Amino acid sequence: MEYERQIYQATTREELRDGILHKAACLQALGLYDKAAATLERTNIDAATLPKLVANLYLSGQYEKAANIIEDYQLENDTLYGDMLLVYILTLNELHRYDESLKAAQMMAAQHEEATGWRTMEQVNSIYRHLPKQKSETAARWLSMVPGLGHIYAGYPLEGITAFIINGAALGFGVWQVMEKCYFTAYFGGAGLLSSTFPGNQRSAVEHVKKRNFKRNNDFNQKAKERLLILFQ
Per-residue pLDDT of the chain (233 residues; tens, 9 = 90+): 999 999 999 999 899 999 999 999 999 999 999 999 999 998 888 888 899 999 999 999 999 999 999 999 888 887 788 888 999 999 999 999 999 999 999 999 998 888 887 888 999 999 999 898 888 888 888 887 777 778 788 888 887 777 666 666 555 545 545 555 554 454 444 444 545 555 667 787 888 889 899 999 999 999 999 999 998 87
Confirm if 58 and 36 have CB atoms less than 8 A apart: no
The answer to whether residues 97 and 164 belong to one domain is no
The answer to whether residues 146 and 176 belong to one domain is yes
Give the predicted TM-score (pTM) of the model. Answer: 0.77
Q: Is residue 230 part of a domain?
A: no
**Please, what is the end-to-end C-alpha distance for the chain in angstroms?**
33
DSSP, res 233: -
Domain count, the chain: 3
Residues with Cβ within 8 Å of 162's Cβ and at least 6 positions away in sequence, in order, are 148
Domain that holds residue 3: 1-44
